[in-house]
Structure 1
Amino acid sequence: MKAVTEGAKGYRRLIPSLTALVEFEAVARLSSFTLAANELGVTQAAVSRQVKFLEESLGIRLFHRLHRSIKLTSEGEALYLVVAESMQRIAGAFDRLSNGTEQQELVLATTAAFSHFRVLPQLPALKRLQPQLQLRLTTQMFTADLRHNEVDIAVRYGNGKWQDGTSSLLFDEEVFPVCSPAWLLANGSPQTLMDITKAPLIESDRTSEGWMDWEEWFHAAGARPPRLHFALRCSLYTDAIQAALHGQGVALGWHRLVSDLLKRGELVRLVDTSVKVSESYFVVIPHGRTITPTTNSMIDWLRGDVESR
């Protein structure tokens, strides 16, 4: 009992205020004193006092206070990573104990296309692997700051260099033309890339993630079409693939997304030519999130080829 008491005194000596740490975490996560105050139900002045007290206790600056914004200093970033991870673990323990259940919720952030074509068709397999897992899917742009969202794992397409989390390669990607079996039966199989340029093409808008469009694909494949014929333009990739499934024309198939549709025969690949893109899919763990066995199992499941599950 004596050792426990001395340990408690030691924590109190090293950690000047748990309240200050809680309010610092909210400010760092939300990048705003005002938003942190609203979330915590206190005044902005109270939050500012707690953060200032923490800075004075440590003898360092935790934030760069800019004209209309704030930014963590390097010391503040280091403290935030530790505090956020610790609070996440404490909150998780409270949640499990209060619910009296072994079930664990995991929040997975992806784009609508990745969720629709890659994750949802494989949920039965995931349930067999992790029957106690409660999965919550959230759709967001790849550029959304993970520190402002309650996300455990995010899937992003890009170069793997982001400031709000630790990334690891999920898999690479290649792109090729696809259509429905009915469209192929009615129109015949194109023999060359120039034949495809004359087909009714289904286009999806380029996004901030850097997905290629038809013109870029043809150039990368070595073709220089004089003019492309678009049967339909869509703002969402999910709509473009749905249009192809309904026989409206030819769409660009991103292999990691449409492989399940190809396997089931709902889509067919038109030519052997494909373009390997320079960027890849990555799994990103937000700073401050604990990597648990459930997290690792989920990453392994995401990384596995659809065909092998």
Structure 2
Amino acid sequence: MLPPRRFLPSFSLLAAFEAAARTGSVTAAANELGLTQSAVSRQISALEKQLGVALFLRERQTIRLTLAGDGYAREVREALRRISNASLNLKANPSGGTLNLAILPFFGTRWLTPRIAHFLEAHPGLVVNLITRLEPFDFRFDTLDAAIHFGVARWPGAALTFLMDETVLPVCSPQFKARHEIQGAEDVLKAPLLHLNTRPDAWELWFSQNRVAFDTLHGMLFDQFMPMVEAASAGLGAALLPRFLIDRELEHGLLVPAVEGRAMETGQYYLAYPPDRATYPPLAAFRDWILQEIQADRLANGNRIGQ
């Protein structure tokens, strides 16, 4: 149910306000919108009258947002952006449907993207837009329909569908392993370590699990898996990496297990989405498909996906 009409200003009034707020000038806003200065001024005044709130301070030939106007401008700009994106999606795919999906960079690059063609073949006309996001966000203020989430099952306001567990292996380049004479977990402690800043205690947990005493752990810090994989392949250190995302490096011998049989579970992957979008056809189709893909991987790998 929409709010009363007085709280729904016309698009032309909002567009004039947003342009003037963003440019800080009625003249610039008028040029951008193809209107006269007086027309933009009248639209802003009409909006202020409708809302009953002053949005700008007028100082000689300049305008400046009030405190209330500044907050309103941010929300109006986001609303106009969402309307624009919805229109672009509709224009790009008028007969199918669009799924805007947030992905984790390495998971998206290594696991999801190579498979997404199968999903699109099975659902002709459907468009999937992939947007990189590293942290949870509020679906209420975003245009995304769903997101791939890693960690504990906690995303305020979102429904979560479990996808799979993640198991990491301690890996390094063959040359690095030989140079540091790594044969057991104790030897890994003496070698340079690579850390991921979103999982800062991963090595501590691994050494504790393998009953290796340690004080403090130092080494290079990375914000994403991809550069850490490259650094480990280049012999810069040992890294804890998801087994199912480094098949390429293991297959070509760029990386080898630093210590055999010492994998560790670190968390879970989930599909997160707003509860009221659970039955949205493109999302429902994607949710069914990705669960089937994961199950197929489990069967193909002896029920050991992620290991």
TM-score normalised by length of structure 1:
0.60
Of the candidates 109, 114, 138, which is equivalent to residue 116 of structure 1?
A: 109
**SS state at 2:276 partner:** coil
Output the CA distance in 1 between the equivalents of 2:119 and 2:135.
Answer: 23
Q: 1:154 aligns with which of 139, 147, 154?
A: 147
What CA distance in whole angstroms lies between the structure 2 residues aligned with 1:299 and 1:211?
A: 30
Deviation at 1:94, TM superposition (A): 11
Query: 1: CA distance between counterparts of 2:173 and 2:252?
Result: 11
Match of 1:192 among 175, 184, 193: 184
In the aligned structure 2, how far is the partner of 1:194 from the partner of 1:201? 13
Counterpart amino acid of residue 109 in structure 1: A
Q: Distance in 2 between matches of 1:45 and 1:216?
A: 61
Q: For structure 1, which segment, 257-266 or 108-117, has the greater mean C-alpha deviation from structure 2 after superposition? A: 257-266
Q: Does 1:180 align with 2:151?
A: no
Shift of 1:160: 1.8
RMSD, aligned α-carbons: 4.3
Alignment-derived partner of residue 251 in structure 1: 239
User: What's the offset of the Cα at 1:217?
Assistant: 2.4
5 Å-filtered alignment, 1:214-233, equals 214-226=203-215, 228=217, 230=219, 232-233=220-221
Structure 2 letter corresponding to 1:244: A
1:225-269 Cα deviation digits (max 9, x unpaired): 356563x33233322112113332211112354356545655333
Amino acid at match of 1:294: P
- Identify unmatched segments of 5+ residues in structure 2: 10-16, 22-43, 54-70, 72-81, 302-307
Q: Which has the larger radius of gyration?
A: 2
CA distance in 2, matches of 1:44, 1:287: 36
Q: Aligned in 2, Cα 1:228/1:133: closer, same or farther, shift over 3 Å?
A: same
2:226 paired with 1:238: yes
Aligned length: 240
Structure 2 CA distance, aligned partners of 1:176 and 1:281?
A: 17
Check conservation: 2:172, 2:235, Cα contact below 8 A: yes
Residues 110 and 142 in structure 1, CA contact (< 8 A), matched pair in contact too:
no
Residue by residue over 1:154-176, the C-alpha shift from the partner in whole angstroms, topping out at 9 and shown as x without a partner, is 11123323222111111112222
What secondary structure does 1:298 align onto? helix
Q: CA deviation at 1:187?
A: 3.7
Range 119-128 or range 160-169, more displaced: 119-128
> Is 1:274 matched up with 2:267?
no
Q: Distance in 1 between matches of 2:216 and 2:93?
A: 63
Cα distance, 1:48 vs. partner?
8.9
**1:10-68 superposed Cα distances (whole Å, 9 cap, x missing partner):** xxxxx686758979xxxxxxxxxx99xx9xx994785699xxxxxxxxxxxxxxxxxxx
Instruction: Name 2:138's counterpart in structure 1.
Output: 145
Change (3 A) 1:133 1:223: farther
- Per-residue Cα deviation, 1:65-122 (whole angstroms, up to 9, x for no partner): xxxx9xxxxxxxxxxxxxxxxxx9xx989965x6674343211112323223332343
Structure 1: state its 5+ residue gaps: 1-14, 24-33, 50-68, 70-87
SS of equivalent residue, structure 2 residue 246? helix
Task: Indicate the percent of aligned positions where both proteins have the same amino acid.
Answer: 23
- Partner Cα separation in structure 1 for residue 189 and residue 223 of structure 2: 21
TM-score by length of 2: 0.60
Paired residue type of 1:236? Q
